[in-house]
Amino acid sequence: MVFATPINNVGAAITMFVNVFVFTMLRTSVCNAQAVPALYMLGDSLVDVGNNNYLPLSVAKANFPHNGVDFPNRKFTGRFSNGENAADFIAKKLGLRTSPPYLSLTDGTTPPITGVSFASGSSGILNETGQPYIQYISLAQQVDYFSLVRDKLVQQLGPSVAQVHLSKSIFPIVIASNDLITYFTVGSLVSRKYTPQRYIDLLLSNYKGLLKTLYALGAQKMVVTGAPTIGCCPSLRKSSRTGECNAEANFWSKKYNDGLKVMLQELKSESLGLNYAYFDIYSAMINLFLSPETYGFTNIKEACCGLGYLNADVPCIPTSTFCLNRRNHFFWDLYHPTEVAASMFIDIMYNGTQPYMFPINLKQLADI
């Protein structure tokens, strides 16, 4: 290394040497110890690992039984699942611990170097999507929280090392289900305000703006999950006497995904250094539902936990009943997959090929 100004003072030279050594060691440890140094999770209840536990007014919580019945020590953690959820399985694939909820970090706490989760149950791309649940962290607010974490990283590591750290970190974003479910729920007010196509255009426009902000803050490796077959959730199936999927909701979910793929390609062309892996969970679900027994499922219509028709008239609460064999049920509750279903999808996300993963999968993204 060449210094611009000669150093005549021995003490100053030693100080300079120590600073350079520490910087180099930090950079080496961040870059080489692990291909993916951190996982910054954004999204909704599909990947919430407990943020909503810290929102006193939120009615979108899972910090009670029977949630967590298959989690270690049967612990209910705030995950909308019988056990672990997609966030846990993504972390395992990358050799990381599950990122802790952002709201669990007390004021002044230095965020863990291995990442933070900002995901919040009931949140959506639009700020108003979660309003029926009173308190939640919208995607825009999640991005704002990440900005605060980024600032602390810069203070902790210095600008250059922090930039390298973030450029190698993975940013999974699992969002849009609540936006679409809100539109297609019976009596929806938002459906009176927008046509389906206008609503999808609004979602994609807002989403692109938030992804651009994330990129500007240093996120260069994003995993973006499309909308699932929301019409096949027990909450929407129950409007059919035979428990069939809501075809209209699924049609527009697919239209949203078509637009999302175009938007991501545009974003990459506009953003130097950005790489992404798109997971077409919609197609993966359709494939599974066509032959559920192949994957070990004997029940793809009913929620495992709940009450009433398809166990979908009452959510999963302590007074609900729940199935004894969670491995043969696809849905845990009105909206969310069981632990085994979530694990299968993350296997696809990590190793899958087209049409489920485009243009690369999570493993290839991590290796870049």
- Catalytically active residues are 45, 333, 336
SS3 annotation, the chain: CCCCCCCCCHHHHHHHHHHHHHHHHHHHHHHHCCCCCCECEEECCCCCCCHHHHCCCCCCCCCCCCCCCCCHHHCCCCCCCCCCCHHHHHHHHCCCCCCCEHHHCCCCCCCCCCCCECCCCCCCCCCCCCHHHCCCCCHHHHHHHHHHHHHHHHHHHCHHHHHHHHHHCEEEEECCHHHHHHHHCCCCCHHHHCCHHHHHHHHHHHHHHHHHHHHHCCCCEEEEECCCCHHHCHHHHCCCCCCCCCHHHHHHHHHHHHHHHHHHHHHHHHCCCCEEEEECHHHHHHHHHHCHHHHCCCEEEEECEEECHHHCCECCCCCCEECCCHHHEEECCCCCECHHHHHHHHHHHHHCCCCCEECCCHHHHHHC
How far, rounded to the nearest angstrom, does the alpha carbon of residue 325 sit from its chain's CA centroid? 26
